[in-house]
């Protein structure tokens, strides 16, 4: 309930900011200076609720003790594309000669909040991989469980495990995106996990991992 309440206040703050900005654009109330101060105040509130929402979620997360911090390139690229699109849109609105420039404030609020929460996720290491008895847990923007029973075979090349699933999909575990001190440990643990679950390695994978396949 607490998380839901914080999330509602967060969205309500953004809605109020949108309403007062729209009011300025259509009827000229409040005036520009007042709107600017309101956006700053509401922006601070939005940032506060964004951090509080993340903190509440983190407190309720059951983080595995044995987890490997994991931040693949696609997560970073998606975040950069999203923030870049908002920044470009905000920049265009800001340099416009019309009252639409005040809409840029809303976009900048979202950008700062999104970036701050992203940094907190990295600091708190909520992007990770973890090995359980019969599945691999990948926690990025969402959680994905890959059960051993779903895996048809395991490929390995360029420091990446490719899990070939029985439904013809492929899941990549990029060990080069792990911390240098965890890369070798994860590789060894994953190989042992795969052996315990009687998974089949490809010929190429067996050749490259022969020192661990025993």
Tens digits of per-residue pLDDT, 119-144?
Answer: 999 998 889 999 999 999 999 988 89
pLDDT number for residue 214: 65
Task: Using the predicted structure, report yes or no on whether residue 86 has a pLDDT greater than 50.
Answer: yes
Residue bearing tokens 């490929």: 155
Percentage with pLDDT > 70 across the chain: 97
Q: Is the dihedral of CA 76, 77, 81, 87 positive or negative?
A: positive
Q: Which pLDDT value is given to residue 116?
A: 92
List of residues 6+ apart from 205 with CB closer than 8 A: 154, 155, 156, 157
pLDDT-derived band of residue 97, with 50, 70 and 90 as boundaries?
A: low
pLDDT at 55: 86
The mean pLDDT of 23-39, rounded to a whole number, is 83
The answer to which of 24-33, 87-96, 152-161, 170-179 has the lowest mean pLDDT is 24-33
Model confidence, pTM:
0.81
Structure tokens at 67: 């987890």
**Confidence class for position 3, pLDDT limits 50, 70, 90:** low
| Phi, psi (deg, nearest 5) at residue 124 | -85, 0
For residue 1, what pLDDT band results from cuts at 50, 70 and 90? very low
DSSP for the chain, written as a single string: -HHHHHHHHHHHHHHHHHHHHHHHHHH--S-HHHHHHHHHHHHHHHHHHHHHHHHHHHHH----SS-EEB--HHHHHHHHHHHHHHHHHHHHHHTSSSGGGGHHHHHHHHHHHHHHHHHHHHHTT-SEEEE-SSEEEEESSSEEEEEGGGEEEEEEETTEEEEEETTS-EEEEEGGGB-HHHHHHHHHHHHHHHHHTTPPBPHHHHHHTTTT--
**Averaged over 79-103, what is the pLDDT?**
84
CATH of domain 128-208: 2.30.29.30
pLDDT surpassing 80 at residue 2: no
Q: Where are the domains of the chain?
A: 2-123, 128-208
């Amino acid at each position: 309930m607490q998380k839901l309440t914080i999330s509602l206040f967060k969205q309500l703050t953004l809605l109020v900011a949108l309403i007062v900005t729209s009011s300025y654009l259509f009827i000229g109330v409040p005036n520009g200076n007042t709107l600017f101060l309101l956006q700053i105040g509401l922006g601070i509130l939005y940032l506060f609720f964004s951090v509080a929402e993340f903190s509440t979620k983190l407190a309720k997360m059951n983080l595995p003790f044995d987890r490997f911090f994991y931040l693949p390139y696609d997560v970073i690229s998606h975040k950069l594309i999203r923030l870049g699109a908002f920044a470009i849109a905000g920049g265009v609105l800001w340099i416009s000669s019309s009252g639409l420039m005040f809409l840029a404030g809303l976009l900048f609020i979202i950008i700062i909040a999104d970036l701050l929460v992203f940094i907190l996720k990295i600091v708190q290491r909520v992007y990770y991989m973890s090995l359980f008895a019969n599945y691999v847990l990948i926690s990025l923007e969402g959680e994905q469980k890959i059960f051993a029973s779903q895996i048809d075979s395991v490929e390995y090349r360029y420091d990446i495990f490719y899990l070939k699933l029985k439904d013809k999909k492929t899941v990549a575990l990029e060990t080069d995106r792990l911390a240098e001190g965890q890369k070798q440990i994860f590789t060894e643990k994953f190989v042992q996990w795969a052996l315990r679950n009687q998974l089949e390695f490809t010929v190429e994978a067996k050749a490259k991992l022969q020192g661990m396949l025993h």
